[in-house]
Amino acid sequence: MSDGELGFTSNEMMTIAASRALKNDDVCFVGIGAPSAACNVARLTHAPDITLIYESGTIGTAPQVLPLSIGDGELCDTAVTTVSVPEMFRYWLQGGRISIGFLGAAQLDKFGNINTTVIGDYLHPKTRLPGGGGAPEIATSSKEIYITMAQSKRGMVETIDFYTSFGHGEGGDHRKRLGIDTAGPTLLITDLAIWKPDPVTKEFTVVSLHPGVSRAEVQATCGWTVKFSDTVEETPAPTALELKTLRDLQARTKAAHAATGKEKAA
């Protein structure tokens, strides 16, 4: 996949497209993995004043390498301050101070409901996943939720095996009927497209295709019948600065973690 001058991968396009959705004044609760990469690319490019918060209680963190987990020392070392986990959730999250909760998913349905608990039956699962952590609370208490994940029929399914983090439930006004007054999932960025929920049904709808991606490719990697917006745009390709920022971040991360591994081995 290429824009004619700069070569880039579908995962790089996904991360950069996700980073662009963040604003300089956002207070963002960051998930580990792809969300963390996107949030830090935003911080290192167009949103230098964004406030990144991780579940371990670090506020205003500015990691030079991507954390392996919420307990990575890099987060605390580079944070403006670190608070207790109860304070993080009660005061910051449930107090309505988080503008964006940025999450990943192992399984996702068309209404933005997320499964990170088990694949298969709960009591006899095919795969036991890491679990929800703070994601269920992030999904209901953040003002908005952004989700990023690579597309596959195994990941984007008609019905998720377990409701870890509530999205729009059965669609429509389901959140409102349950007394949840936050917006829920408002954006999905995959390695192929950008999706937004239909204003009425809340079903995710493709609004932009990444460069070189066809509608057929999107459908072939999605477990439900995909709906496309009346006007489907093309996602702008990554710029040289965006690619360099992401690749430098990934290179620093790889080098740092390799060094840590050698120290442990010694």
DSSP 181-197: -S--EEEEE-SSEEEEE
The pairing of strands 125-128 and 144-148 is: unpaired
Cα-based distances in Å from 234 to 9, 189, 215, 248: 16, 13, 12, 26
Which residues fall within 8 angstroms of residue 123, CB to CB, at 6 or more apart?
Answer: none
Residue pLDDT, tens place only, 61-92: 999 999 988 889 999 999 999 999 999 999 99
How many CA within 13 A on the CB side of residue 245?
22
55 among known catalytic residues:
yes
| 156: pLDDT strictly greater than 70 | yes
Which of the following is catalytic: 5, 12, 55, 170?
55
CATH level 3 topology of 10-260: Glutaconate Coenzyme A-transferase (3.40.1080)
Average pLDDT over residues 33-37: 93
| 264: pLDDT strictly greater than 80 | no
Q: What is the model's pLDDT at position 263?
A: 55
- Is 39 within 8 Å of 69 (Cβ atoms)? no
In the predicted model, what is the mean pLDDT of the chain? 94
Q: What is the model's pLDDT at position 226?
A: 98
Nearest to 75 by CA among 182, 85, 211: 85
Number of other CB atoms surrounding residue 122 within 10 Å:
10
> Per-domain residue ranges for the chain?
10-260
Name the band, by pLDDT with cuts 50, 70 and 90, for residue 3. Answer: very low
Q: What is the model's pLDDT at position 143?
A: 98
The two structure tokens encoding residue 252: 């620093």
- Is 164 within 8 Å of 117 (Cβ atoms)? yes
Distance (Å, rounded) from C-alpha 264 to C-alpha 43? 31
